[in-house]
Amino acid sequence: MAEVKVAIITIQYPPTIGGLQRHIKGIVSLAESLDYNTTVITTEPNPTMEVEGELDNNVIQLPAIVWFKDAPIINPVKLYMVLKDISPKIVHVVYPFPISLDIACVYAWLHKKKLVCTYIDDITVGFPLNKIYEKTLWKICKYVIDSISVSSQEYGKNATGLKDWRKRFYVIPPPVFDEFNLSLSDKYNAKKKLKLEGYDRVMLFVGGLRKKLTYKRLDLLLRAWAEFNKDEKSNSIFVVIGGGELLDYYKKMASDLGLTQKNTIFKGYVPRETLIDYYLAADVFVLPSVGTNEGFGIAAVEAMFYGNAVIASDIPGIRGAVKREEKTHVSLVPPLNWKKIVDELKYWFSKDLREYALENHEYVKKFFNKERIKKELKKLYED
């Protein structure tokens, strides 16, 4: 096949860290393994975000004119000229990316290029005119877009911005899970390395502690954990991984709820290698997100991959990721129902989780292996 150029336009990309960045980086890697010539167009990092590693050679960073919280507006003329210089056969836009998405649509329409879109989440946070945008510009863009990928059929059917999409969805979950065979000794060794082996159970939350990410509802989880510790006298620990401007706010909340360093630890941002150790050391992972911003919930699936039982909100993005078959050791709870989280903590903490750890690991390998995702990406680009 002759070399095909693909321009991938995304709001964020490594070396900034986060689920979105890992998702798109995984797609770029798979596209390159299929012999596509990829160029990533993104913004310079938001100064408030954590950075890990170096910028890849195929990435063009454009400065943001202004930031609406985490949503950057970049110079539309510059973006158009960069696309013109690259002259890609396929323009691949990650939604949401206000203004930049629209420029990509104009470029693809004028130059008769294929336009595909990865739909990450609904615009419900961080963009002041989101309702007007979705009813005008986004609606027009959908006439130009040739195909859309989503992390799961479940999410595609329920996302607010996709209600009127009549074509098929290409299911491309984040291709981020490496070759790894879990053993129970891996989990014990991680507990020992992190000095957590003395606890009966380790509960884990992973997520940015930023204003834009309050939909992950760590506040509800802290309330549930405080209630659990009133009734249960178990020797257990809750580890919170994630940095951001709300870190001190959540620490104070934990203190006000009566939680102490004996049962609750805030680790802030940790590098990737250390994060994997915490996934391995944990027994139960909890993600109480609300709404349709959680288009997949990478952290919940990663927790399963590294041998955790999972308690998560029963919302489309998470449900479509962790419940593709009934035989998973996952509890889905109604959003905002922190009392139900307490009940599920009591249930899972009473179990021997060793067998469940290996079965959840196998579930992730079955449904999210890269070869399976690569075939769908090829269809997205070539159908």
pLDDT at 129: 59
pLDDT at 317: 84
* C-alpha closest to that of 86 among 118, 113, 55: 113
The upper half-sphere exposure of residue 182, i.e. CA atoms within 13 Å in the direction of its Cβ, equals: 30
**Pairing mode, strands 147-150 and 169-171:** parallel
β strands within the chain, DSSP E:
4-9, 36-43, 59-62, 64-68, 71-74, 90-95, 114-119, 147-150, 169-171, 201-206, 236-241, 264-268, 284-287, 309-313, 330-333
Q: 360 and 229 in one domain? A: yes
Q: 155 and 202 in one domain? A: no
Amino acid identity, residue 254? A
Q: 37 and 112 in one domain? A: yes
pLDDT at 135: 74
Decide if 306 contacts 182 (C-beta within 8 A). yes
Q: 134 and 212 in one domain? A: no
Of 170 and 327, more confident:
170
β strands within 131-210, DSSP E:
147-150, 169-171, 201-206
Tell me which residue has tokens 């900034």: 16
Please state at what angle helix 247-256 crosses helix 218-231, rounded to 10 degrees. Answer: 30
Instruction: Say if residue 1's pLDDT is above 70.
Output: no
Residue 197 belongs to domain spanning: 184-367
Q: Mean per-residue pLDDT for 288-312?
A: 88
Torsion of CA 313, 220, 243, 328, to 10 degrees: -30
Q: Mean per-residue pLDDT for 105-120?
A: 93
Instruction: Say if residue 244's pLDDT is above 80.
Output: yes
Which residues, listed in sequence order, are joined to residue 205 by a DSSP beta bridge?
A: 240
How do residues 123-137 score in pLDDT, each as one tens digit? 654 445 566 777 778
Q: 30 and 83 in one domain? A: yes
How do residues 61-97 score in pLDDT, each as one tens digit? 999 888 776 677 889 999 999 999 999 999 999 988 8
Q: 327 and 188 in one domain? A: yes
pLDDT at 195: 95
Provide the number of structural domains found in the chain.
Answer: 2
Q: Return d(Cα 327, Cα 312) in angstroms, integer.
A: 16
Q: 200 and 108 in one domain? A: no
Decide if 283 contacts 309 (C-beta within 8 A). yes
Task: Give residues with Cβ within 8 angstroms of 276, minimum separation 6.
Answer: 306
* Structural Rg of the chain based on CA atoms: 21
**Pairing mode, strands 330-333 and 236-241:** unpaired
pLDDT at 254: 94
Q: 310 and 209 in one domain? A: yes
pLDDT at 2: 59
Q: 377 and 354 in one domain? A: no
pLDDT at 125: 46
Whether the bond between 96 and the residue before it is cis, its omega within 30 degrees of 0, is yes
Instruction: Say if residue 277's pLDDT is above 80.
Output: yes
pLDDT at 69: 65
* C-alpha closest to that of 381 among 176, 102, 146: 146
Q: Highest mean pLDDT range out of 47-51, 176-180, 195-199, 368-372?
A: 195-199
Of 159 and 83, more confident:
83
Q: 277 and 159 in one domain? A: no
Q: Return d(Cα 26, Cα 32) in angstroms, integer.
A: 10
SS3 268: strand
CATH number at residue 202: 3.40.50.2000
Supply the mean pLDDT for the chain: 88
Q: 372 and 299 in one domain? A: no
Task: Give residues with Cβ within 8 angstroms of 365, minimum separation 6.
Answer: 177, 305
pLDDT at 372: 87
Tell me which residue has tokens 């391995």: 280
Under the banding of pLDDT at 50, 70 and 90, the label for residue 45 is: confident
Under the banding of pLDDT at 50, 70 and 90, the label for residue 241 is: very high
Instruction: Say if residue 202's pLDDT is above 60.
Output: yes
Q: Mean per-residue pLDDT for 97-123?
A: 89
Instruction: Say if residue 161's pLDDT is above 90.
Output: no
pLDDT at 126: 47
pLDDT at 302: 93
- For the entire predicted model, the pTM comes to 0.84
Burial tier of 363 (Cβ tally within 10 Å: 0-12, 13-18, 19+): buried
Q: Say how many C-beta atoms besides its own lie within 10 A of residue 245's C-beta.
A: 12
Q: 196 and 159 in one domain? A: no
pLDDT at 131: 66
